[in-house]
A and B are shown apart, each in its own frame.
Chain A
Amino acid sequence: MRFFKKLRRRWQLDRDLEDELRFHLESKAADTGDASTARRLVGNPTALAETCRDMWTFAFLESAWQDLRYALRTLGKSPGFVFVAVAALAFGIGADTAVFTIGSAAFSWDLGIDHPERVVFLEIDDPSQAGGFESSFLNYAALKSEIHSLSSLMAYRWMPANVSGKGVLPERYHCVQMTANAFSMFGRNPLMGRYFTMEDQHPGAAPVVVLSYHLWQERFGKDPSIVGRTLRVDAEPRVVIGVMPAGMQFPENAELWTPLVSERDWLSGGRGAPLFFGRLADGVKLAAARSELSTIARRFARQRPESYRGLLIDVQPIFELMGFYHARALGAAVFCAVGFVLLIACADVANLLLARAASRSREISIRMAIGAGRWRIVRQLLIESLVLAAGGGFFGWLIAFTGLRWFDSSTSQAPRPLWLDFSMNTRVFLYLAAISIGTGILFGLAPALRLARLDVHNAIKDGGHAAAGGTRGRSLANLLVIAEIVLCVILLAGAGLTIRSAMNLYGAPVGVNTAGVLTMRINLPQAKYARPEDELAFHARLKTRLESLPGVEVASMASDLPMRSSRLVSYDVEGSAPDAGHSPRVGSLLIGTDYFRVMQVKPLSGRASVNAGEVIVNQSFAQKVWPGENALGKRLRLVKNKTPQPWLTIAGVAPDILQNFRHPVQRDPMIYLPYAGESPGGVFVIARTRVPAATLAEAFRQEPPALDPDVAAFEIQTLESRIAQQRLNVGAFSAVFTTFAMVALLLAAVGLYAVMAHSVSRRTQEIGIRMAIGGARHDILALLFGEAMRPLAIGLTVGLPLAFGVTRVLQASLVGVAPGDPITFAGVVVVMVLAGVLGCAIPARRATRVDPLVALRCE
């Protein structure tokens, strides 16, 4: 309160004081009857006013305000310098803030539950059969009663489901089956209704479902009467009993929950075993839980050696399952990269300030001579730096904002977790403010301290050449430039590697005609399509309907698409001795008739369609198994669960297609089997269209529900855009690194230019002398260049090995190029030297143009 009163009074103080003193004088004059004596008695009114004013002023703030106005004035006099400095800072700060925003959004792992870091899951390694241990409800119950290090044991299983209802097209959502006790662990009350109780888990209980806020908002428009309505989830009617609050999505991206019914739902049914998880009990550490569970595992193995010999149970934090957790290292790499850019920008501005300091030393020394303390000078210079940093921060915010918008729109199609939000919130603004101020102090401190240590006497005499121009000043500037070059080299190396990676990726032909193919996914609910014949019938009807749409040439289906994945199967080849227990494996794809017609792939030999009892292999496979021979007519068979299946005849050899996104440039061996109605994971329906594929998207979406209202079509995309998305990761990464590297290169070149220009201007006299006593132009050039190239050479020598070590981090994301690729590094050296030469060229030329007479006379 007093502060504001003080502030208000301060503005009126001078006028008030004048009035008050005038009244005093007049009263005194009236009383004593003598005006002149009265005035004399008052003493020095100015001193009085000053004393009073001193009490009311905020001395610190006022002189700071003064400094600020002065800073703005002096900066206004050198617009070129301000432009370069603010631009450099804006790029650095903007890029840094953008990366921070993306990073803090992607790496915050907010599941909307209490203390997610205490939630762990059990990683069960059952050597007899994957998922065998968890599929037994008895094992779950036994574990639940024995475990002490977890407060309770729960389980969930992913079960993506079609949700259908009246009037709206069915859609596919991420549904999760979960035990009822999980909800109480979350610590969040439902927004509406209730969540599961133990009764809902009993077999024979009425089927219920709990919705997530996201689903309630998106599909039901936040309908307040949703609780109690019935939905069809995978063709099964379920009553909605509650809606969870916004932001709650455990596990990641869960959109609705159904109870994991005891015993009945436990068996896999082709869906995979449930995942056991729980919250660490209070005060229990992860290591303790691990040791307890390995003891329990050993006990199970002892008690039931025929089933569980070699059983291992490990405990991991639930974060391991979350989207970007594994990309932590990569995220850190990008964050460091952008930090380098910011540091380079700071070094640049520091160098520019140092150069500028030389011309200001006279002014500063005069100020110090008339009484400014050293700290006042330092404060003045720091305020100048902070003004520059504030300008950089403002424009950096604009750059970050634009960059984020671009990034958001360019990745909106890629699979992204629901909770990712790239808006700039308070935390981001605080970060922006912090690094703006931090960089201001960082680059401003060195020149400020240097100037404040001026020997005032000599500075005034010398006319400014000593300050910041002496050997110490130069070596600091050189050091900064060397540091800039080192960082730049590292960034260039990263950029070069990612560029080559992207080129490899985009350059590799997929092997199919990707244009003009529309794809969508459907999943037939088990409840309705239990028999393979039912599925086959549905697909046949769907194919007919799709092909009858105008603009569709031919339709087909497959278990997977190119550039995604394939299913590994074990096989035996006729005529070769089977290696018991170790059948070789190969990637396989289930295809419908006309698959190769849709993909416009002509077989190398034999047929392009495969009937029952037949198989098509690709060229890599044929050459691997029967090198030099014709594979047509040969036979192989699959081996499932160590049981050989009936023989299949090879009916055709297809050219290689890139099937696996993990090996984006490798041509893996593949076999193509006819689709026979078994599809626990859903299938892809594909069609070749005569018209632009995207125009048929809506029509395609309506077709499966038209046949069966419980079947939803989802992920409707053209094959081209799918593949583009697959490649987007590498492409985006490369674009990011290249942008940073280019900015860094520009900044480093500017840095070299500044150092060189300053050096030349400082040595104008010396150059004049050299030329006057007979030095030729090219001698001067050689001298200057040699001097400038020295920091470049040192920078390269230090930077290249560092870059070599640092780029190892990128190894996982590189395609077809090794982290130590010599071509890339050679390119880095060339680019760096070019930039250095360019940066030095202008000042060097200017130096040789100097007229010796002018130079000798100038100061």
Chain B
Amino acid sequence: MGKAKGELVQGTLDMLILKTLARAPMHGYGIAQSIQQISDEVLRVEEGSLYPALHRLELDGFIDSDWGQSANHRRAKYYKLTALGHRRLSREANNWSRLAQAIARVMEMA
């Protein structure tokens, strides 16, 4: 896995993937790059956790996959969000913000 400060729990990785795909359909490499860039290199997604997560999400029906052409005309597998995936994303996002606010309140208590 990655560095200690960049470690992601499995559930959060799923949520990040779903959020990335909510913006646009993307292939696996693109998802990893996107998360890395947007988080300013803090979050690094390794292939060893990315692809199992993608396959698991597809199995559960949150994302769909299809083969397509990449930007440089190479064959790549593109993933997109399903309706179920959208619902899951919003639920996870709510849970995450509640969790984050709770942690923030405790930390502010000092």
Shortest Cβ distance from B64 into A: residue: A5
Q: How many residues of B contact A (CB 8 A)?
A: 19
Q: State whether A20 and B59 are in contact (beta carbons under 8 Å apart), knowing that A52-B51, A52-B52 are contacts in the complex.
A: no
Q: How many residues of A contact B (CB 8 A)?
A: 24
Is B47's CB within 8 Å of the partner chain A?
Answer: yes
Is B25's CB within 8 Å of the partner chain A?
Answer: no
| Bound form: Cα–Cα A445–B76 in Å | 51
Indicate which residue in A6, A47, A55 contacts B56 across the interface (CB closer than 8 Å): A55
Is B5's CB within 8 Å of the partner chain A?
Answer: no
The answer to whether B47 touches A52 (Cβ under 8 A) is no
Interface residues of B in 48-64 (CB under 8 A from A): 48, 51-52, 55-56, 59, 61
The answer to whether A55 touches B59 (Cβ under 8 A) is yes
Indicate which residue in A6, A16, A42, A55 contacts B77 across the interface (CB closer than 8 Å): A16
Shortest Cβ distance from B33 into A: residue: A31
Indicate which residue in B29, B52, B61 contacts A23 across the interface (CB closer than 8 Å): B29
Is B46's CB within 8 Å of the partner chain A?
Answer: yes
With a CB–CB cut-off of 8 A, which chain B residues contact A19? Answer: 75, 77
Closest chain-A Cβ to B60's Cβ sits at a distance in Å of: 9
| Bound form: Cα–Cα A280–B52 in Å | 67
| Bound form: Cα–Cα A331–B51 in Å | 65
What sequence of 0s and 1s flags, for each residue 32-65 of chain A, a beta carbon within 8 Å of any chain B beta carbon? 0000000001111001100110011000000000
Closest chain-A Cβ to B33's Cβ sits at a distance in Å of: 8
| Bound form: Cα–Cα A120–B70 in Å | 81
Closest chain-B Cβ to A41's Cβ sits at a distance in Å of: 8
| Bound form: Cα–Cα A23–B47 in Å | 12
Is A302's CB within 8 Å of the partner chain B?
Answer: no
The answer to whether B55 touches A55 (Cβ under 8 A) is yes
| Bound form: Cα–Cα A26–B76 in Å | 11
The answer to whether B51 touches A23 (Cβ under 8 A) is no
Is B80's CB within 8 Å of the partner chain A?
Answer: no
Is B19's CB within 8 Å of the partner chain A?
Answer: no
Closest chain-B Cβ to A58's Cβ sits at a distance in Å of: 12
Interface residues of A in 487-534 (CB under 8 A from B): none
What sequence of 0s and 1s flags, for each residue 6-25 of chain A, a beta carbon within 8 Å of any chain B beta carbon? 10000000001101110110
Closest chain-A Cβ to B56's Cβ sits at a distance in Å of: 6
With a CB–CB cut-off of 8 A, which chain A residues contact B75? Answer: 19, 23
With a CB–CB cut-off of 8 A, which chain B residues contact A48? Answer: 47-48, 51-52
Shortest Cβ distance from B44 into A: residue: A41
| Bound form: Cα–Cα A654–B61 in Å | 94
Is A28's CB within 8 Å of the partner chain B?
Answer: yes
With a CB–CB cut-off of 8 A, which chain B residues contact A17? Answer: 51
Shortest Cβ distance from A44 into B: residue: B48
Closest chain-A Cβ to B95's Cβ sits at a distance in Å of: 24
Shortest Cβ distance from B27 into A: residue: A23
| Bound form: Cα–Cα A52–B50 in Å | 10
Is A2's CB within 8 Å of the partner chain B?
Answer: yes
With a CB–CB cut-off of 8 A, which chain B residues contact A47? Answer: 48
With a CB–CB cut-off of 8 A, which chain B residues contact A55? Answer: 52, 55-56, 59
Mind listing 12 A-B residue pairs with CB under 8 Å? Answer: A2-B59, A2-B61, A23-B29, A23-B75, A24-B28, A24-B29, A27-B29, A27-B70, A30-B72, A48-B51, A51-B48, A55-B55
**Which positions in B face A, CB cutoff 8 Å?**
27-29, 33, 46-48, 51-52, 55-56, 59, 61, 70, 72, 74-77
> Which are the 3 A-B pairs with shortest beta-carbon distances?
A27-B29, A24-B29, A43-B48
Given contacts A6-B59, A23-B77, 6 further A-B contacts (CB under 8 A): A2-B59, A21-B51, A47-B48, A48-B47, A48-B51, A51-B52
